[in-house]
Amino acid sequence: MILQESANPDAPVGVFIHDLSIRFGEQVIPLEALDLDEVLAESELQLAGSVSGKVEEGARVQIEQTWRPFLRQAKTVNQIESASRGRFRTDLKLHNGVNGLKISAVGPDGAVLDSRSFELHYKGSFREWNETIFIAFFLAILIRGLVVQAFWIPTGSMEPTLLGEKRNPFTGQLERGGDRILVSRFAYVFDLSLDGRLPFGPRFWFKLPERGDIVVFRYPNPDVNAPPKDYIKRVVGLPGDHISIEDGRVYVNGVYLNEPYIAEPPLSDYATRVPDDSLFVMGDNRNNSSDSRFWGPMPLTNLKGQAVFNYLPMNRISPIRSFPHPMQPARPVDQQG
């Protein structure tokens, strides 16, 4: 509540308004004692005060209340006839926001003998709950879109690193739930477009992923009308890299990659060059993974973040670590000479 008192400099000598107070429930608060930053949570109030001095018969107290609903100003005027012994009281109903109050002592001829002005700030419980829910929703969207996001692993394309859901092939009964992971949306890029939901939102890059990082991205479906799907794979090639698969081994720019995390070596040979605006990604379960070998490079614009933590099931709680690729000779030692 913000109090702003002002006396009428033209008031007749000896006529003044004083002892102003408000009551709600059993609590009575003098206006002079109000905290300047206080916001009232009660809308039904009783205002009381006194008028002293040379008050003529027929004088009255006038209370003007103003507020701003829907960006316009509304106003009510409450006329109180002179009360016994100069005391007056009236009921007030506050409106959400700032309520301006002006209390005037008015003579029989309509002249203002004295006045006091102040403001009361009121926020109803309905509005407060709405604001709380809105803020919580906004923060949830902000955190999910810009900081961290939870994902579920439904398939086995990243096994044995990340486990997918497993069902009995005969009964269909669920035998194992997929891993639940957290993805850092802040690892590579600060995406104010919220995955393209806000076309005008910029994307600020911190760095490119590194080979061996596990990333989540939007599947680059050529059908623009298809519902979006999120994939998780391991980065194998960076922009400009030459990728080849020969005899079950992966080479980047002619250099063999040591990959102890894969389920088994890939069965088919492959070769490509990664475009400058893309990554080459593959699942750790090389022979059971839909990845860049089949649908092409993954555009950097589709990148969502880096998988950083496995939080469920309980027995698999652990950080998800990248595997930096220590480069090996162009061919494994056991195949040379």
Question: Could you give the 3-state DSSP secondary structure of residue 186?
Answer: coil
50 part of the active site = no
- In the chain, residues under CATH classification 2.60.40.10 are 16-123
244 part of the active site = no
Long-range contacts of 315-322 (CB under 8 A, 24+ apart): 316/163, 316/179, 320/161, 320/162, 320/181, 320/214, 322/210, 322/212, 322/213, 322/214
Average pLDDT over residues 291-313: 95
Question: Tens digits of per-residue pLDDT, 128-150?
Answer: 566 567 677 667 666 666 688 89
Structure tokens that stand for 106 in this block: 């008015």
Question: Tens digits of per-residue pLDDT, 29-72?
Answer: 888 777 766 778 788 889 999 888 877 777 888 999 998 876 66
- What DSSP letter does each residue of 272-324 carry, written as one string? EE--TTEEEEE-SSGGG--SHHHH--EEGGGEEEEEEEEEESGGG-EE-----
Structure tokens that stand for 39 in this block: 């916001």
Question: Tens digits of per-residue pLDDT, 217-263?
Answer: 999 998 988 998 999 999 999 999 999 999 999 999 999 999 999 99
Q: Select 16-123's CATH number: 2.60.40.10, 1.20.1740.10, 3.40.190.10, 3.30.1370.60.
A: 2.60.40.10
Residues 6+ apart with CB under 8 A from 94: 40, 42, 43, 45, 67, 120, 122
Indicate whether 11 pLDDT > 50. no
Domain at 137-330: CATH architecture? Ribbon (2.10)
Catalytic residue among 115, 233, 292, 304: 233
- In the chain, residues under CATH classification 2.10.109.10 are 137-330
Instruction: Check residue 34 and report its DSSP letter.
Output: -
Q: How confident is the model at residue 147, as a pLDDT?
A: 82
DSSP H or E segment with residue 126 = helix 125-146
Catalytic residue among 82, 157, 289, 292: 157
Q: How confident is the model at residue 286, as a pLDDT?
A: 96
Cis peptide before 160 (omega within 30 of 0): yes
